[in-house]
Structure 1
């Protein structure tokens, strides 16, 4: 261990996950940093750690959790919401689990979640969206939804380059744009800038295509989702750069939709990934009307935010939706729901979103048997109708259990599949 920590206790047992520049080297007993989070994080995080540790043990491994801080707890102990020590720990140990965080209302970061992604260069937000049997859904066939959204994490409007109406900065920029570039921006406007770069777009799209190739038993398409008909030099460029990656970097393993029809009469060769593109507004209705037609979506930042949330709504909602933020050889895995402070500490909320985020973490670590065990046991718990209050009020004949009890039932159900 190369880093010295002042307020973080590194477990005496276990080893760090290593990165050789191409692949993770994961020991049987890794040390994994964990941010409990704010609000209901104090309920969902312990429940999640219980489930993941059990899955590891039942597949011949162990996880040594290392508590690190961000959010309100960090502000109390460090005097800041995102200590450098926390970032250092994630950099060193490569993989981390995170609960929900509250963003400070006054000053500081726009979003602690975004700050972590940007400071650690976790440029790919990967959100799988699929239905677990037993979870109520607002659509007739939620099982047709099985896709993964790859959302660029570091730029677009989320880069935060904007100034408020009436500020000196806006006046300077508005005058320059109007006088030098011929725009007609009103004096009462706030102004934001939307950067989308070739580098960030291409590395995100590579991640999406690589994921599809590594899971080609399930997925056959990667769809570039953009609004390039209107924003031609940002989102249109994202689309064009995506096709460049597909055509120039992957050989016969990847073909474009045009090639598929012009040269192959629509017949997709076995084990080949097809790259196509759709406009973002069209895609929002496509995921409702034809979800089974799409596998992997690669999107700029804002589009991915909309699409992943809309897709999650079809399989049960954001409360059970998992998420992950991945860079080169490192990742932070977190649920997409918020902190829900009014429910904090009551041992009542649903830990599924964080448990499924941990499932992605296990998959990222190469522990395929452990992640499958988590999914099977979790789904069985829902089939048994032993559920937390949010699901209980939507079903008939179920048993309402606490957050911690739900986790214990998932662990118990692992016995049937281990």
Structure 2
């Protein structure tokens, strides 16, 4: 099993080494393939990701990714969008579940939402043009993409509370009707209870009553925004992991960005990257090991071994050392 390891830029260079220390506790038969991608590579070579890099990734089974800085330059090729598209990692899975001991902006801890985001099209199609007076982006919605993301969402819903919320804006953006109707058809065929929410109403209601929601399926942009909003509900973007899943390959990353303002200061929260390792372990069919990682995170918070974004005063290294010790003593 080959695991590509991409630290990327900014705090990615701090949180991915931390995540690897936790992963290495389990002594799994993983061949790690380090790869440099992102803004730092673009500054040196003029390319953030090359065709050769993509070939390496295509020859790996899974990817552990940190974060990349994306400059406001029309010639910069998005690393994330390129990987997701080229490897057809069409399902972005983002759990929004509070961790005991941490409260978000509303104080509500009685929710467990799973955002299932279509990952390959929508407004992230990369078909766009920026001119002096006019700029446009082409938004693509296809039945095939809608069907397969709805299928994934329904499979998750069936394992949970069997409820699916379909997010759309078809009252204004008529292309959303294809997403909405296709998801409804798939949900009905799977006997999954479902409802639909306009994306603006959904954002409001997620803050007001997050406990109402189970699995949420959304087009690319809506899912991106709603899951980041979920970071405020959980307590920090530094707590949110994610997975990008395809038919045969998978890509795991923290939801947060490269955070250049705190990079190199030793205060980056490694928990999202480490919980992304837990999602990787689930994908590898190692649920017991994944559970140990999640219990380690809860233990660190219970012991107040936390970085500043969570109200603690521990460094990245101190949090990592605690988690590694916990995992080693429980596996």
Give the alignment's TM-score, normalised by structure 2. 0.92
Which of 302, 307, 314 matches 1:388? 307
Aligned to 1:102: 69
Aligned to 1:139: 106
Looking at structure 2, the residues matched to 410 and 339 of structure 1 have their Cα atoms a distance apart, in angstroms, of 22
- Check if 1:158 corresponds to 2:124: yes
* Counterparts in 2 of 1:79 and 1:161: CA distance versus 1, 3 Å: closer
Query: What are the Cα deviations for residues 309-332 of structure 1, in whole angstroms up to 9, with x where unaligned?
Result: 111210012222112211111111
Give the superposed CA RMSD: 2.1
Structure 1 position 197, deviation (Å): 1.0
Q: Is the 8 A contact 1:69 1:83 kept in 2?
A: no
The within-5 A match list for 1:17-416 is: 31-54=2-25, 56-57=26-27, 61-75=28-42, 80-142=47-109, 144-166=110-132, 189-213=134-158, 216=159, 218-232=160-174, 234-248=175-189, 254-255=190-191, 273-391=192-310, 394=311, 400-414=313-327
Looking at structure 2, the residues matched to 109 and 208 of structure 1 have their Cα atoms a distance apart, in angstroms, of 32
Looking at structure 1, the residues matched to 203 and 330 of structure 2 have their Cα atoms a distance apart, in angstroms, of 37
Structure 1 position 357, deviation (Å): 1.5
Looking at structure 1, the residues matched to 173 and 74 of structure 2 have their Cα atoms a distance apart, in angstroms, of 32
Q: Is the 8 A contact 1:53 1:62 kept in 2?
A: no
Structure 1 position 96, deviation (Å): 0.7
Structure 1 position 92, deviation (Å): 1.8
Looking at structure 2, the residues matched to 360 and 37 of structure 1 have their Cα atoms a distance apart, in angstroms, of 20
Q: Is the 8 A contact 2:236 2:309 kept in 1?
A: no
Looking at structure 2, the residues matched to 293 and 105 of structure 1 have their Cα atoms a distance apart, in angstroms, of 38
Give the alignment's TM-score, normalised by structure 1. 0.74
Q: Name structure 2 gaps, 5 residues minimum.
A: none
Q: Name structure 1 gaps, 5 residues minimum.
A: 1-15, 17-30, 167-187, 249-253, 256-272
Q: Is the 8 A contact 1:164 1:191 kept in 2?
A: yes
Larger Rg: 1
Looking at structure 1, the residues matched to 44 and 138 of structure 2 have their Cα atoms a distance apart, in angstroms, of 36
* Counterparts in 2 of 1:62 and 1:348: CA distance versus 1, 3 Å: farther
* Counterparts in 2 of 1:136 and 1:247: CA distance versus 1, 3 Å: closer
Aligned residues: 331
Q: Is the 8 A contact 1:124 1:150 kept in 2?
A: yes
Looking at structure 2, the residues matched to 340 and 239 of structure 1 have their Cα atoms a distance apart, in angstroms, of 35
Structure 1 position 107, deviation (Å): 4.2
* Counterparts in 2 of 1:405 and 1:64: CA distance versus 1, 3 Å: farther
Q: Is the 8 A contact 2:305 2:318 kept in 1?
A: no
